[in-house]
Every structure is written in C-alpha cells, then in structure tokens.
Chains A and B, each alone.
Chain A
C-alpha cells in the first residue's frame, strides 16, 4: 500500500465553502429544523458568484446546463457586462431610430451533419429565426458564416446551403450577408455554421422569463425530445433503427398565430433547444423567482423517444428539440393560448404541462406519473454533446 496524497482541489473547495458560509449566514435562521437549515445553506452556496474552477474548457461547458451558465456568467458577462446583455435572453432587444429590434446569434456544430428530418442547414436557419421569434419579433434578415474543413465535399456543402435557402424561404427571412473560412484538415469537423439574425418588434409587448408570475400556465407546442434522440440514433452507435425525425422548424408562424389570438397575457416564450424543456424551466424559475410545477403525465413524449431515453438512461425533459415552443402564459388565457397553438400545424399536439407557483422560488418540481414528486434540476453537463 502506497502513501496517501491529498486532492488539492477538494481541500480548497472545503475551505472556500467554509469561508463563504461564514460570510453568508443571515440572522434569524436558527429556528429552522436541521433539514431546513441544510437546505438554506445550499441555497446560499448556489447563490454564490459563479466561478470557473476548471483550468481548461471541457465538453460540459458547451452543454447548456450549469457548466455553461457558470462560463457565461463568470467569463462573458463579467467582461461584456451591459444592460442589454444582462437579461441573458435568447436575443437582445435594441432600439434604433425609434424602432425596436431583436438581434441574436448562434453557432451550429451538430454531428452528424445530416440526419432524419433535416441537416445542419435547417438548424442554422430555424434556430436563429426561433431565437428572434420568441421575443415576439418578426424575423427579417440572417447572416451565415461557414467554417469548413479542408477536404469537405462540395456536394455536401451545396446540399446544406440549398437547405438553408429553402428554410429561409419557408420562414420568410432573407440571408443577406455571410463569411467563409477554411481550416486545415483535422482542425475542424467538416462544417460549422454560424448565423446571426435581426428582427423587428412590431407588437406592443415585452416578454421575458422574469415576467412569469405564480398562476401562469406552462405550455409546450408538441412532443419533446424528437431532435436529440434522432441525432443520437443517426450517429449509429446504438444500432437502433427508427422512423423518428428531427422536429426542426421555424416557429415564427406559430408564434404569430399565438400572439394574434392572445395579444395580452403571454409572459415568456423560449424554444427548447440544448438542455431541453427542463433547462428552460429552470432558467424561468430562477429569473422570475417562482416555482414551476410540472405534471409528468401531461408532457407529450413520443414512445420512440421514451424508449430510447430509457435505454440511454436519460430524461426526455433534458433532450433537445429544434422546433418546440415553451410558452408561459397568464392562467386566465391558458385555454385561449392552447387553442391558438393547436390551430396551427406545428402546434397540433400542444399541451399544458404545468404551472408556476410562488413557493419554493427558483425550483422546478415534477409530479411523476408514478404519483411521487421530485426536483428537476439543471444538468451539470449534457448527456448528448454536439446535438445542435
């Protein structure tokens, strides 16, 4: 048996937590039960200023979960900080010459590039259109930036670009500027795409996760997890065959239908991409300081997605969609919003999956189909990397 050494990072974590704990303790908390005291201590630890502890970027930093949030807040927000960026929504809302604009950007690194129901080109157009549309804006113009690996087949590139043109036409946007870079073989994986987009806010509404209130209804526009599972199966590592197709779609038409029918009462909209519905609901719960209570039996999930998730040991709530809207609306307009969504082809299977409550703030709770309850936390890393 050899000598034991200590793990410096672990000892340091204990010391830091003890110091933070000594600083963060508030008076009047002594009467709590042991369990409540511990839970309060954890909440204080979670409220600590985020800090990237790793020396290098790992895949978890790209997952959309806790590690991504820590990276964004500790590095990007820390240095770029300004009031337009601070809400950390999917898009920034800008005013120029009296016109309200929505502006966003997104990069696409999905592997494989082609999968059942679409390819990276669909994602690049629809993803950016959706990030604009969920603010209530009408998406108008997109840019496209390509990073190509030496040796990438021109035929594949043309297929992707053709798809982007079709997707843009379908969504009613124009691709008006772009950029191309090529890197040496081995320095990238085939083809990465970046798109940015601009839209105009013509409606007199302001949406945002922070506007969600207790009593609001949580609606999803269709079955969740189709995209993530489709891409996973397309990688061929599991030897499972299925007809499942990606749900990639531009949501601006669906959103316009919703906002036309329900001009007042929509509080927040997101498209459930990386990290899935669970991640969005956690962001909302945190931003609005509300609880979000989800009824598992009401969440629409296709049997293929449930089955693949069981095999992979993942939860469909965390699996990416590329054409699913999560709308959080005032309880009084929930029925009207649901009817409006269902009147549109992309929202035919829309469902109310839960509601916001005032207590416990910041947490997402799930009433399981089995009849129990549990917390749905944000994941640390992504179970399925490079999904979009």
Chain B
C-alpha cells in the first residue's frame, strides 16, 4: 500500500469500522437528528443525552463506508462528558482537520487525528463529516434531515 492510502485507511479506522462503539438507539435521548449523503445513500442517526449543558451519552445508528462509520464511532467516544460549548469547538477543529491542509494538530482532537488523511481524498471528506454535521443539527434540535450536499 502506498503512503497516502495507508494514511486514509489506518488500523484505528478498520477497528472502528468493524467494531463500532456506541452503536444503536438511545431511548433517553434529549436530542436526535438524521443525516444522509445523497451521493451514496448513506444515512446516520445521532442520539444525544444532554443534561445541564453536558453530553452524558451519545449513540449512533446507520453510517456506511469505513470512513463514515469509523468517524461516527470515533466521534461518539470523543464527546462523552464534554460541555455543549466544548463539543461545538471540537466540531470546528475536526472540520479544519479534514478540510484544511494548514490545520494545526490540536491535543484536543486525540484519536480523531486518524481521520486527517481524508484531506487527500476530496471525494471522501463528506463521509468523514456526515456524523458531525448530523450532531450539529441534533444539538440545534433541527428536525429536517441533514444532507451533505
């Protein structure tokens, strides 16, 4: 495998694709939103349990390709225990990570850094950001499904 393909398909990504964390519905959800990528038909539902401005629990259903599924799984791991403000800041940092070649590494991103390789594959950026855009909609309690288009 040449360098950049390995950058995209890192072991952590395969791990989260094959064994996604926090997958399934969350009955106690205070926030929920659906997102889809019309290019490939992939769909994801994000469930959040927010109490006193803090994310107590987060789960997801759906996703699709290795990048979309791993990104959703890694996102759920990264969010628990954060305040809503901290989640929004993390979203902006993650978005820069996968779209901006000059983005600086931030210790806050932790394991999410493995998705930086997506930058070199413009057709796949939407796979990595689908769960995050859906999360953003859930926090705003938007009921219209989110589209990556």
Q: Do A and B bind? A: no
